[in-house]
Structure 1
Amino acid sequence: MPYMQSLRTLNIEELRCNAFAQDGQQFDMCRLEDFLQESAMGSHVHRHNYYMLMYVCRGQGQQLIDFAHHDVLPGRFFLMYPGQVHAWGSHDGLEGHLIFFTPAFFTERYNNNNLREFPFFNTSHFLPYIDLSAPQAASFGYLLEAMLKEYHAKEEDYLKTLRSFLNILLYQCKRFYFERAQASLPANDRTAVLIVRRFEQLIEEQFREKRLVRDYAQLLLLTPNYLNAICSRVVGKSAGELIRERVMLEAKRLLLHDGRTVAEIGASLNFDDNSYFGRFFKKYEGLSPEQFRKSIHQNHSG
């Protein structure tokens, strides 16, 4: 299909002068300003097959992540995971750090730590970034500079050291991410955040097979009404909305990225009837799957 040709899935080996990939490793790191100067591959809509962390210390800009536009501002730390749709927008004087890594790089040492335990790597409705306070930004800046120094020095066991730095960085982000989610809730409601986080993990794992709130409530040992109430309190949406949004997000990703027909994509999402998939999609997007596919190409190609 000609309107699919502008979309690419970027491999980590395609990144700028990736010394680690050339050595058979799956990690890269650089300064944000160097990446933007050296590479234009992210200027069109694309998908990553790796994780990307981006810290901004100066400048401003915009980027598209899963069909939503986000401002790129100083003190903002972005966290992206494989499969997300991404494109760079305008940017002016951006400086900071970029880290790219694959699941294999992380789990080689932390094989008991599932990357999906980090809330920012399995959510479709929370923001894909953290706004750091001045002390937090200073701490992150110090850690990232230490990582970059280790990256360039390549001394003995430097890969192990980088994995340790990465683990610390992700757990710090997890702490700040939960603090933000909990800050707007009364103290006695903060356990609700953990329930919603587990619900999101289950959706991520099973949204193709399970579409009903009662299925997830049963897995969580809750009643459907209670699960709906908790989701409404924490994120302002019902449990059913969160399930539908994840199905819709995957449908849009596939319509943009996958060359299969609409009927084949619907079947891959366990819609037995293509006409039902079309009605479902149009109800929540306002466009048919075919119209959405063409509109995205027109807006983001060239």
Structure 2
Amino acid sequence: MIMNPIPTQSSEIRVTPIPRMTQGGRWRVEAMRSYTSDLLLWFTRGQGRITVSGRTRGFGAHNAVFIPAGTMHGFEITSQVFGTAAFFPRSLNLAFPQEPLHLRIRDAAPQGDLTLILENLQRELDGDRPKKERAAENYAGLFSVWLDRAKLQYPQNERKSEKADQLVARYSTMIEEQFRSGRTVSEYAQALGITPTHLSRICNKSCGRSASALLADRILYEARRLLRETKLPVQQVAAQLGFTSAAYFSRAFQNHTGKTPSDFRRGA
């Protein structure tokens, strides 16, 4: 069965429990990927680590993570992690931040406000009342106001961004824009004006992964998504992701996942 619980492209507001995002495999949230919609992750229970734009932080209960559309990210999920994910299409033209935010909401009042907004939003989306789309858009607008207030109340007290952090963020953006091109880490490093060794060193410091691991993770997420959600032949999947041959793609896929592309697709 072809499964697509969370589309990478959507023109609709969507709200879903965070555990449901893993339908089809934990790789759906743990591997590096992005969406064309702005994303809110509202963690209400559990803890783990989340990587956004090449930087890894810990998250816990009552953490709100806002991830703009097109931003590469992934996060750990266990049976203890619970919360809500909300997807807001760019067509809403809301005044959302252009940079990621990680807010630790310590007080009960704003925690309750956000939970209520998301519950009301979900109720409108699931119901059949007239003008539900308009109502959902208004709740999305209320969320944008909540986010602006939370930014003022809970500023991100983090160390000043260093040049290395900026380079990793730029590398993350370049991967997201060009991971289908077949470019190597050396070519990305050259475009950034640094050596591959230095790029890998700063990636390890920022997120605990090498530059090649970040790149491979993004490519393999897309490979698995295409194998699960489309009927494209393996050869076409390989070509779309910049591999020079289907055989090379199959070897790389099996080395990282333990399965051939065909076996992975049959397991859907």
Structure 1 length-normalised TM: 0.56
- SS of 1:99's partner is strand
The one of 161, 183, 190 equivalent to 1:218 is: 190
Counterpart of 2:90 in structure 1 is 103
* CA deviation vs aligned residue, 1:106-156 (integer Å, no higher than 9, x gap): xx245xx7x8x5458xxxxxxxxx683634x7545445546878998x89x
Please state whether the residue corresponding to 1:193 is helix, strand or coil: helix
Q: 1:162 aligns with which of 142, 167, 170?
A: 142
Pick aligned residue for 2:42 from 55, 78, 93: 55
- Larger radius of gyration between Structure 1 and Structure 2: 1
SS of match in other structure, 2:254 = helix
CA drift at 1:103: 2.1
* 1:66 match: none
Q: Matched residue of 2:216: which SS?
A: helix
User: Equivalents in 1 of 2:247, 2:84: separation in Å?
Assistant: 46
1:254 partner amino acid: L
SS at match of 2:259: coil
Cα gap change, 1:212 to 1:170, in 2 (>3 Å): farther
Q: 1:167 to 1:219 in 2, by over 3 A?
A: farther
Question: For residue 191 of structure 1, what is the aligned residue in structure 2?
Answer: 163
Matched, 1:231 2:203: yes
The code of the aligned residue for 2:165 comes to V
Q: 2:2–2:229: 8 Å Cα contact kept in structure 1?
A: no
Please state how far the C-alpha of 1:228 moved relative to its aligned partner: 1.9
Structure 1 pair 42–191 and aligned structure 2 pair: CA distance change class (3 A): closer
CA distance in 1, matches of 2:265, 2:114: 41
User: 1:275-290, aligned counterparts within 5 Å?
Assistant: 275-290=247-262
Deviation, 1:201, is: 0.8
2: CA distance, partners of 1:78 / 1:284: 29
1:264 alignment partner, one of 213, 233, 236: 236
Distance across 1 between alignment mates of 2:139 and 2:110: 22
Contact kept? 1:211, 1:244, Cα under 8 Å: no
Identical pairs, percent: 25
Whether the 8 Å CA contact 2:63–2:105 is kept in 1: the answer is: no
- For 2:7 and 2:201, locate their aligned partners in 1 and report how far apart those are by CA, in whole Å: 41
Specify every segment of 5 or more residues in structure 2 that has no aligned partner in the other structure, as ranges. 29-34, 48-58, 125-133
How far apart are residue 203 of structure 1 and its match? 0.4
Structure 1's 131 and 286: CA in aligned 2 closer, same or farther, altered over 3 A? farther
Give me the whole-angstrom Cα distance separating, in 1, the residues matched to 2:140 and 2:259: 48
Shift, 1:209, TM fit = 0.9
Number of the residue aligned with 1:19? none
Gaps (5+ residues) in structure 1?
A: 15-24, 62-71, 121-129, 298-302
d(CA) in 1 for partners of 2:4, 2:224: 15
Distance verdict in 2 for CA 1:54–1:246, change over 3 Å = closer
- Distance change (3 Å), C-alpha of 1:289 and 1:27: closer
Q: Aligned residues, how many?
A: 234
Q: Deviations over 1:249-290 (max 9, x none)?
A: 211111111211111111111223111111111122222111
Task: Tell me the TM-score normalised to structure 2 length.
Answer: 0.62
For the residues of structure 2 that align with 1:171 and 1:79, how far apart are their CA atoms?
Answer: 11
Give the structure with the higher percent helix: 1
- Is 2:191 the counterpart of 1:204? no
Distance 1:228 1:287 in 2: 27
Contact 2:5–2:21 (Cα < 8 Å) also in 1: no
Q: How far does residue 44 in structure 1 lie from its aligned partner after superposition? A: 4.6
Residue identity matched to 2:91: A
Q: Deviations over 1:80-111 (max 9, x none)?
A: 778999xx99799x7x6653321222xx245x
